[in-house]
Amino acid sequence: MSLIMKKVKKTIKANVSPFKPKFIKNLIPSGLNFFSFHAGFKKKKNDLLILIFEKLVNVQCVYSLTSTPSAPIIWDKKNNQGKCKALIVNSGNANAHTGINGIKIINKYVLELTKRIKCKKNEILVSSTGVIGEIFDPSIIINSINKINKTKSVDLIEAAKTIMTTDTYPKTSIKNVKIQNTNINIYGFAKGSGMIQPNMGTMLVYIFIECLLNKNQLKKLIYQNIENSFNSISVDSDTSTSDTLMLFSTSNKKINLKSNKNFKKLSKAVFELMQNLAYQVIKDGEGISKLIEVHVVKAKSINQAKKIAFSVVNSPLVKSAIAGEDANWGRVIMAIGKSYEKINQNKIKVSFGKNTVCKNGQISRKINTKQLNRYMKQKIIKVNVDLGLG
Amino acid sequence: MSLIMKKVKKTIKANVSPFKPKFIKNLIPSGLNFFSFHAGFKKKKNDLLILIFEKLVNVQCVYSLTSTPSAPIIWDKKNNQGKCKALIVNSGNANAHTGINGIKIINKYVLELTKRIKCKKNEILVSSTGVIGEIFDPSIIINSINKINKTKSVDLIEAAKTIMTTDTYPKTSIKNVKIQNTNINIYGFAKGSGMIQPNMGTMLVYIFIECLLNKNQLKKLIYQNIENSFNSISVDSDTSTSDTLMLFSTSNKKINLKSNKNFKKLSKAVFELMQNLAYQVIKDGEGISKLIEVHVVKAKSINQAKKIAFSVVNSPLVKSAIAGEDANWGRVIMAIGKSYEKINQNKIKVSFGKNTVCKNGQISRKINTKQLNRYMKQKIIKVNVDLGLG
C-alpha cells in the first residue's frame, strides 16, 4: 500500500518543477496522429488536441465518480461503445456544470469532425480541462477541425503540452515489453494533479498499447493497475469533475494473452507506466515542497489499509507537520483514529523512514532524535504504519 | 443545516481573537467548586482543574468516535456509571496513545482523590488535553490534590482558562430558562477548536444544568442538540483523540419534564448554549480570517444535506478560494460532486449570501459581479446550496 501526497507550497517564479523528468523527443505512437492547435480557450499556447487513429481502435475508459461530472464525461459515457477513431481534448475550459448546453456543444463539434474524417459520432471521444462553469464556444474547435488537413502532426510531448493547464511540464511515459519475441510499446501521457489550482481542475490520462486487445483485456488492464497507481495518489483531497483515463489498443499486432504469464507481463508494464505517470502528476503541483508516502501494513484488509493510509495522507495536520519537518507522530495517531476503523491501538507501530517513533501503543523509548530530525528534512518522507493485525 | 468552518491563517501577535465575547465574572454554578492549579504540565499558567460537586450528581457523556481514543476516554467509558462527585481535567498533556500505562496513571491520581473526598472511583470523571503521546507524570496531579483543602474555588471563567491550550480566550456560556415559574440556570465551558495546533488537540465541553434530570433526560438533551451544534462545526477536518462533552444535572430542583412543552423549552436553551459554545470554539483558532457557513436545502435527507455540506466546508480548494475572497463557485460544484451523493446536477442552485452564481445546472446569467465581489470581502461567508430535490 503506497499513497503519495504532495504538500502544496507556493514557490514563486519556479517555472518548472525540480522533479521534471527527461523526455524522449519525436516519439509518436504508431497508427495515430496528434494535431495540436491554439484554438483560443487560452490566450497564448496551444489548447486543443485532436488525435486521429488510422484505423478504428478498441478503447476502455474510467471516469471520476463525482456526482457533478463534466459534460465530456456525461457525453462519452452515453455515446462510446468501446471503439474509437478520434479523440478531442481541449484545455482552458472544463465544460463542467454547463447544463444541457454543455452536451449540445459537444454534439456540434463532434459532428463537424465526423464529417471531416468520415466516422460515426460514437467513435469519437472527448475530454475537457480548465475552468468549471464557464460558457464554452464550440466554434473555435470547429475552426481548428477545418484546419486539420493543413496541419502537421506533433509528437507525444507536444500532445502532452497541449492539454496542460497549470502543469509545469508535460507528462509522458514510454514502456517496452517483449512477449514471445514480440516487442510491444506502451505510450502514455497525462495532465494535472487533482484539483489544486485556482479555477483549474482535472487529471486526464491517455495510454496507447501497440497490440491487439479486446474489451475485456483492456478493462482487466485498467482495473488491475489503477488502484495502486492513479487511485492511490492525493494532493488536496479534492476530486475533480473531469478525471478521465482512456486505454487504447492501437495495433493489430497479435500476442498470446490467454497465457497467464504473458498477460501478467503486459499488465506489469502497464502498471509501471501508470505509476510513473501518477508520480509525475503528484510531483508537479504548484510549488511542491515534500512528497509523502504512507505505507500501511498488517491491516485486516486492503480496504482498511487504504482507508487509514488516505486518512493519514489527507490530514491537514499531518501534512503541515511534515511540511514543517516536525516528526509529530501524535498527528499520525490522530489521523489513524479518525478513520474510525476497528483496530487495536496497543499494537500500532509508526516509523518515519526507519525511525520508529511509537510501538505497542505508546512512545518508543529508543528514539534517536538527531537521526529522526535529519530524516524529516528529506524531500520524500515515508510514513510507515504497522497495525499489527493482518 | 448550518456548518461552520474556520480558515486558519496566522495572525502574528494577535494575542486574543477579535471574536472574543464579553464575560460575566464571578459566576460559579451552584452545588460545585472549581479548584484551579498550576500543576506543572505547562511551564506557566494553571493547567489542572479539579471540580468537586457538593452532592453526587447525574451525568451523561459523549466522546470522540476515534479509533485511537485517549486514556481518559477509555477510562471514563469503562468506569463511569452516570454518577459523578468530581471531575479532573488537565491541559498540557493529552494522555493519548500512552498505552496501558496511560490508564494506570489515571487510576493512581483518581485513587488519591477518592481518599481525599470520600467517594468511589467510578464517581470521578477525567479529561486531558494537550500533547499526544508524551509521558504523563501523575505525581504532579497528586501533589495538587493534596492542596485542595488550602485552595479557594474559582469562577467559571477561571475554570475555562485552566483547560485552555492554544485558545486565545476562555469559552463560557450561561443561559437562563423559566419553566413553570422556576428559574433554571445552565452553565457551560469549553476549550479548543479541533486539531488545529502543533502538538495540541481536543475539544472539551462541560455543561451544568441546575435542575434534576435523570439519565434518559440527560441523554435526550445531548442527542437532540449535539448534531446541529458541536457535530456541525469543522476547522481542519481532523478529529482529535480526546473530544469529550459532559452534561451534568447539578441540582435537586424538580420541574415537570414529562410535559413535552417544558422539555422542549429546556432542550432549546441547552441547544442555544451548545451552539454559542460551538461558535466560540470555531471563532478562536490560530488567527481566524473567515468563517464559512454552508446551508444545504432541498436535499433527499438530512444525512445527504450534511454529507454535502461537510464536503463543501472541508474542501481545501473551497476554503482557499473563500480565503482569497474569490467567488469560485466551480469549486463548490466540485465539492458537491466529491460527496458521491445521488443528486440531479441540473437542479443545483448555489448562492454566496443572496448572490446566486449558478442555477439549473449552469452559470447564472444575472450575476452582479460588483455586488458579489463586495460580498466575498465579508468576514462571514454564507454558501447556500439548493439541491432542488427534497
pLDDT tens per residue, range A19-72: 666 777 788 899 999 999 999 999 989 999 999 999 999 999 998 877 788 899
The nearest alpha carbon in chain A to B93 belongs to A330
The nearest alpha carbon in chain B to A345 belongs to B68
Residues of B in contact with A66 (CB under 8 A): 334, 337-338, 340
Q: Which residues 224-243 of A have a C-beta within 8 angstroms of B?
A: 236-241
Contact B296, B387 (CB under 8 A): yes
Higher pLDDT, A59 or B65: A59
Higher pLDDT, A341 or A166: A341
pLDDT higher than 50, residue B199: no
- A349-356, long-range: CB < 8 A, 24+ apart: A349/A384, A349/A385, A349/A386, A349/A388, A350/A383, A350/A384, A350/A385, A350/A386, A351/A383, A351/A384, A351/A386, A352/A327, A352/A376, A352/A381, A352/A382, A352/A383, A352/A384, A353/A378, A353/A381, A353/A382, A353/A384, A355/A327
The nearest alpha carbon in chain A to B322 belongs to A198
Distance from CA of B44 to the nearest CA of A (A): 23
Residue A234 grid cell: 492525493
pLDDT higher than 90, residue A18: no
For residues B261-269, give the mean pLDDT.
96
Question: What pLDDT is recorded for position B83?
Answer: 97
Place of cell 480541462: A129
Question: What pLDDT is recorded for position A330?
Answer: 84
Question: What pLDDT is recorded for position B236?
Answer: 57
Catalytic residues of B: 202
Beta pairing, strands B380-386 & B349-352: antiparallel
| Residues ≥6 apart with Cβ < 8 Å to A261 | none
Query: Which of A5, A7, A317, A346 has the most B C-beta neighbours within 10 Å, making it the best mutation to test the interface with B?
Result: A317
pLDDT higher than 80, residue B269: yes
Distance CA(B190)–CA(B163), nearest Å, equals 8
Which pLDDT band, with edges at 50, 70 and 90, does A196 fall under? Answer: very low
Contact at CB, A69 and B345, closer than 8 angstroms: yes
Q: Which residues 272-291 of B have a C-beta within 8 angstroms of A?
A: none
Contact A207, A273 (CB under 8 A): yes
For residues B289-316, give the mean pLDDT.
87
Residues of B in contact with A363 (CB under 8 A): 97-98, 133-135
Residue B386 grid cell: 439548493
Query: Which of A334, A341, A350 has the most B C-beta neighbours within 10 Å, making it the best mutation to test the interface with B?
Result: A334
pLDDT higher than 60, residue B9: no
**A344 near B CB under 8 A:** no
Contact at CB, A363 and B133, closer than 8 angstroms: yes
**A65 near B CB under 8 A:** yes
Question: What pLDDT is recorded for position B234?
Answer: 63
Question: What pLDDT is recorded for position A234?
Answer: 63
Which pLDDT band, with edges at 50, 70 and 90, does B18 fall under? Answer: low
Distance CA(A10)–CA(A286), nearest Å, equals 6
Residues of A in contact with B331 (CB under 8 A): 132, 195, 238
Which pLDDT band, with edges at 50, 70 and 90, does A288 fall under? Answer: low
How many CA atoms are closer than 13 Å to the CA of A177, on its beta-carbon side? 21
Query: Which of B77, B101, B317, B385 has the most A C-beta neighbours within 10 Å, making it the best mutation to test the interface with A?
Result: B317
pLDDT higher than 50, residue A3: no
Q: Write out pLDDT tens, residues A332-378.
A: 988 888 888 999 988 999 999 999 999 998 889 899 999 999 999 98
**Shortest CA distance to B123 belongs to which of B88, B174, B161, B71?**
B88
Percent of chain A as helix, strand, coil, to the nearest 5: 30, 30, 40
Average pLDDT, chain B: 86
**B344 near A CB under 8 A:** no
For residues B197-207, give the mean pLDDT.
64
Higher pLDDT, A370 or B197: A370
**A255 near B CB under 8 A:** no
Q: Which CATH code is given to the segment(s) B18-282?
A: 3.60.70.12
Question: What pLDDT is recorded for position B383?
Answer: 94
Residue B100, helix vs strand vs coil: helix
The nearest alpha carbon in chain A to B361 belongs to A99
Which pLDDT band, with edges at 50, 70 and 90, does A285 fall under? Answer: low
Strands (E) in chain A, as ranges, are 3-8, 32-37, 48-63, 83-93, 124-131, 171-179, 182-191, 204-209, 233-234, 244-249, 288-297, 349-352, 355-359, 362-363, 380-386
Higher pLDDT, A214 or B331: A214
Q: What are the sequence ranges of the domains in chain B?
A: 18-282, 288-386
Residues of B in contact with A96 (CB under 8 A): 330, 333
The nearest alpha carbon in chain B to A198 belongs to B321
ipTM over 0.85: no
Chains A and B form CB pairs within 8 A to the count of 181
Which pLDDT band, with edges at 50, 70 and 90, does B235 fall under? Answer: low
- Closest CB from B198, B330, B337 relative to A326: B198
Question: What pLDDT is recorded for position B244?
Answer: 87
**B324 near A CB under 8 A:** yes
Which pLDDT band, with edges at 50, 70 and 90, does A243 fall under? Answer: confident
Q: Write out pLDDT tens, residues A248-278.
A: 999 999 999 999 999 999 999 999 999 899 8
Q: Write out pLDDT tens, residues A110-151.
A: 999 999 999 999 999 999 998 888 889 999 999 999 999 999
- Closest CB from A131, A324, A360 relative to B99: A360
Q: Which helix (H) or strand (E) holds B245?
A: strand B244-249
**A195 near B CB under 8 A:** yes
Residues of B in contact with A97 (CB under 8 A): 330, 333, 345, 348, 358, 361-363
Sign of CA dihedral B144, B54, B178, B269: positive
- Closest CB from B102, B135, B362 relative to A98: B362
CATH topology of domain A288-386: Ubiquitin-like (UB roll) (3.10.20)
Residues of B in contact with A240 (CB under 8 A): 334
**A122 near B CB under 8 A:** no
Q: Which DSSP string corresponds to B327-389?
A: --HHHHHHHHHTTT----GGG-EEEETTEEEEETTEE-TT--HHHHHHHHTSSEEEEEEE-S-
Q: Do the domains spanning B18-282 and B288-386 agree at the CATH topology level?
A: no
For residues B68-89, give the mean pLDDT.
94
Average pLDDT, chain A: 86
Which pLDDT band, with edges at 50, 70 and 90, does B240 fall under? Answer: low
Which pLDDT band, with edges at 50, 70 and 90, does B237 fall under? Answer: low
Contact at CB, A67 and B346, closer than 8 angstroms: no
Contact at CB, A241 and B337, closer than 8 angstroms: yes
pLDDT higher than 70, residue A245: yes
Distance CA(A349)–CA(B311), nearest Å, equals 31
For residues B341-368, give the mean pLDDT.
91
For residues A200-228, give the mean pLDDT.
88
Distance CA(A224)–CA(A206), nearest Å, equals 17
Other Cβ atoms within 10 Å of B197 Cβ, number? 18
- Closest CB from B195, B199, B337 relative to A68: B337
Q: Write out pLDDT tens, residues A75-120.
A: 999 999 999 999 999 999 989 888 899 999 999 999 999 999 999 9
pLDDT higher than 90, residue B320: no
pLDDT higher than 60, residue A2: no
Could you give the percent of chain B with pLDDT greater than 70?
88
Contact at CB, A67 and B339, closer than 8 angstroms: yes
Contact at CB, A337 and B241, closer than 8 angstroms: yes
Question: What pLDDT is recorded for position B353?
Answer: 94
Distance from CA of A96 to the nearest CA of B (A): 8
Question: What pLDDT is recorded for position B111?
Answer: 97
Catalytic residues of A: 202
Distance CA(B69)–CA(B241), nearest Å, equals 5
Q: Write out pLDDT tens, residues B126-156.
A: 999 988 888 899 999 999 999 999 999 999 9
Distance CA(B2)–CA(B306), nearest Å, equals 9
Question: What pLDDT is recorded for position A157?
Answer: 95
pLDDT higher than 90, residue B201: no
Which pLDDT band, with edges at 50, 70 and 90, does A237 fall under? Answer: low
For residues A299-305, give the mean pLDDT.
90
